[in-house]
Amino acid sequence: MFSFTVKHTDADTQARLGVLETPHGSVDTPVFMPVGTRGSVKGILPQQLHDVGADMILANTYHLLLRPGPNIVESLGGLHRFMGWDGPILTDSGGYQVFSLSDLNQISDDEVEFASHIDGALVRLSPEIATGVQNQLGADVIMAFDECVKLPCSNEQMRQAVDRTMRWAEQSLQAHRRKDQWMFGIVQGGTDRELRHYCCEKLIALDFPGYAIGGLSVGEGHELLVETTAWTAPLLPEDKPRYLMGVGMPRDMVAAIAAGVDMFDCVLPTRNGRNAFAFLREGTIRLRNEKYRKDDGPLDPQCDCYSCRNFSRGYLRHLFLVNEMVGPILVSLHNLAFYQWLLAEARSAIAESRFDQWSKTWKQYDAERSDLTVECN
């Protein structure tokens, strides 16, 4: 039911073109997965996700454990039927919430105890619990439970987190019960090369069908993110998918693809879309700016998504100023289309062995090409 095949590698970089086969369809890689944390990509219908080119989406174990609970999801036909999404799904194990909800949890060598951010109730996650929940949810790809720590941190804290991650990876594999799900291991270690190498070696020995690079985009900055990814990705098996978790700025993804990464997820397209921030071919814009008040041009003249075909920047700005919910939906939809376009362009560049040259146009995208000065007429 599963396979991963590398079809082509770029001549001048480690970028690779591949296909991930799952029980719910095939996925061309490199791929960007929109995030549907609670079983829905905010404001976007499943058909709209298909229309913008999304092949695979992500949901989150911790949040679905709280509401509605894995028993409910399972009783309603599993996550695919529950969400109305017939394509591949990946579920995060909840390890990221160990980082993002650190003020609400306590970590031991055996488990993490959370005070629910909803009502304060005690919630426990361990390798066995996180794996059991993911088995019930029924995603195609599930993740081993891990500990992600915020950077910077002490060497002792990072070493402790890596040791826990290794123990929890083995326990997650032992708890895994479904053959129609692939489980990926997660490499931790911050920006410490020695720890990343150690973690890779231990995970590879466990023979996961795929591997994720976790613990980045958590405060280390662009340069260290790129450097750490470039160091870590080649340590992972060439014949298995490599997934960089939670990284979504365009220049970060392009650099990671050059290092041999195959899969990405991030909330940026939809979170930024809900805040009137749009990703365009030529840069980024903030639609609340006064200069867009009378702009009758499309959001991105080079984009053919539903939002760009039908609405002006001036209209979209108006929607945000009067708090109409369709504004965040339309800009989120466009941003998702942009991300799928970007990854499709990357795949074409790899297939034609011109990725190195193509990637140079994206190195400064997020840093220098924001809020366009040239507007559409």
Give residue limits of the domains in the chain.
3-266, 273-358
pTM summary value: 0.96
Of 55, 92, 140, 262, the active-site residue reads 92
Calculate what percentage of the chain has a pLDDT beyond 70: 98
If pLDDT is split at 50, 70 and 90, which confidence band does 236 have?
A: very high
Mean pLDDT of 75-91: 98
CATH number, domain 3-266: 3.20.20.105
Contacts of 72 (CB under 8 A, 6+ apart): none
Contacts of 77 (CB under 8 A, 6+ apart): none
Mean pLDDT of 127-152: 96
What mean pLDDT value characterizes the chain? 95
Q: Amino acid letter at 343?
A: L
For 246-280, letters b (16+ CB in 10 Å) and e give bbbbbbbbbbbbbbbbbbbbbbbbbbbbbebbbbb
pLDDT higher than threshold 50 for residue 374: no
If pLDDT is split at 50, 70 and 90, which confidence band does 101 have?
A: confident
Instruction: List pLDDT tens digits, range 23-69.
Output: 999 999 999 999 999 999 999 999 999 999 999 999 999 999 999 99
Q: Which of 192, 118, 185, 124 is nearest to 153 (CA)?
A: 192
Q: In the numeric block, which tokens belong to residue 48?
A: 């709209």
For residue 150, what is the DSSP state? P
| 265 belongs to the catalytic site | yes
Q: Do residues 125 and 107 lie in contact, with contact meaning Cβ atoms separated by under 8 Å?
A: no
pLDDT higher than threshold 80 for residue 370: no
Of 55, 140, 262, 265, the active-site residue reads 265
The angle that helices 127-137 and 155-175 make with each other, rounded to 10 degrees, is: 50
- What whole-number distance in Å separates Cα of residue 266 and Cα of residue 36? 10
The pLDDT of residue 369? 63
| 207 belongs to the catalytic site | no
- What whole-number distance in Å separates Cα of residue 17 and Cα of residue 154? 37
pLDDT higher than threshold 70 for residue 326: yes
- What whole-number distance in Å separates Cα of residue 285 and Cα of residue 273? 11
pLDDT higher than threshold 90 for residue 367: no
The pLDDT of residue 368? 63
pLDDT higher than threshold 50 for residue 235: yes
Contacts of 287 (CB under 8 A, 6+ apart): 276, 277, 278, 313, 316, 317, 320, 331
Q: Do residues 9 and 253 lie in contact, with contact meaning Cβ atoms separated by under 8 Å?
A: no
Quick one: CA torsion of 283, 287, 291, 295, rounded to 10 degrees?
90
